[in-house]
Copies of this chain bind each other. A is one copy, B any other.
């Protein structure tokens, strides 16, 4: 069976790490019974410079017939972020109702935490981010623009359907883990309407998962606890914005943003999910072969799992952690000297055995 993969290298270091993801898949695709077909899409800020749009009007339709989308990174100086992101990344997440953004935070073997006295046994949790609604809404605008009385207003929208489905995913995930703990981020003490509503959804669903221990934290304290008590966490669920912040903060304690993978998942088989490293396009280091490809390799592992290829996923993750565990070949952000490709070569050599 052939897995059809849409590739969107995008901008900056996205163009350097995506080919590495492809090389991993090609190596695995040599195994009997495992096969990948790639279609590359040039959607990016460069595309925007030429066409005035991040992707063609029917871009979504081109992506639809794939089993998964592998995206590098989006964004480049000269194109305002809200243009590039709302023209590509965010529409994909929404049109395909990829309502789960799953972001593992785990200190890989051999890597050093930015936290004092913390090792791999202390940092191992999953951030589950609502990925379709909440604080990222298109509803809003300005009044009196340009005048002293100017203001901007933006609506956060949290629906019962939207919160139930992400919470359901998070509860299920927590139950599947040995510690069975679910922390949820809120801010119902300051944000008066949406956050108490979110809390009520959690409270209404919790009795259906009697073996899951549920703990609510205001997001400010939760962020603090990611630093002071990372070992408390197992599965952590939050709205779009809170999940965004927590899933950059977590990796900062676990080897840095250069290692963090993510999956934008629609659990239904009818729609493609999208897989992307958490790091952005990092224009400052682009084109120098110094970007860390760990995030991309780990992201490919998540894609393989989602495609049902657990054995291939385990093997790739095993190869990756063997290399980090040895600690001889590491990129600069991790204190090593290896280039992007050199590190990837080492992982591929390990994978081939």
Contact residue among B85, B152, B194, B252 (Cβ-Cβ distance under 8 Å from A224): B252
| B159 contacts A150, C-beta separation under 8 Å | yes
Contact A219–B245 (Cβ < 8 Å):
yes
Q: Is the CB of A114 within 8 A of B196?
A: no
Q: For A256, give the chain B residue with the smallest CB separation.
A: B228
* Chain B residues positioned under 8 Å from A193 (CB to CB): 140-142, 152-154
Among listed A4-12, A16-24, A38-46, A182-190, interface-contacting one: A182-190
Interface pair B90/A190, CB less than 8 Å apart: yes
Given contacts A113-B116, A245-B220, A252-B225, contact A192 B148 (CB under 8 A): no
Interface of A (DSSP majority class): mixed
Known contacts A189-B75, A252-B228; A160 and B148 CB within 8 A of each other = yes
Cα–Cα, bound, A75→B252 (Å) = 31
Closest to A164 in B: B148
Expressed in whole angstroms, the Cα–Cα distance for A147 and B197 within the complex equals 13
Contact A223 B197, CB 8 Å, known A112-B116, A156-B153: no
Is A115 in contact with chain B by the CB < 8 A criterion?
yes
Q: Which residues of A are at the interface with B, using a C-beta cutoff of 8 A?
A: 75, 80-82, 84-86, 90, 112-117, 135-138, 140-142, 144, 147-161, 187-198, 218-221, 223-228, 240-241, 244-245, 247-249, 251-253, 256-257
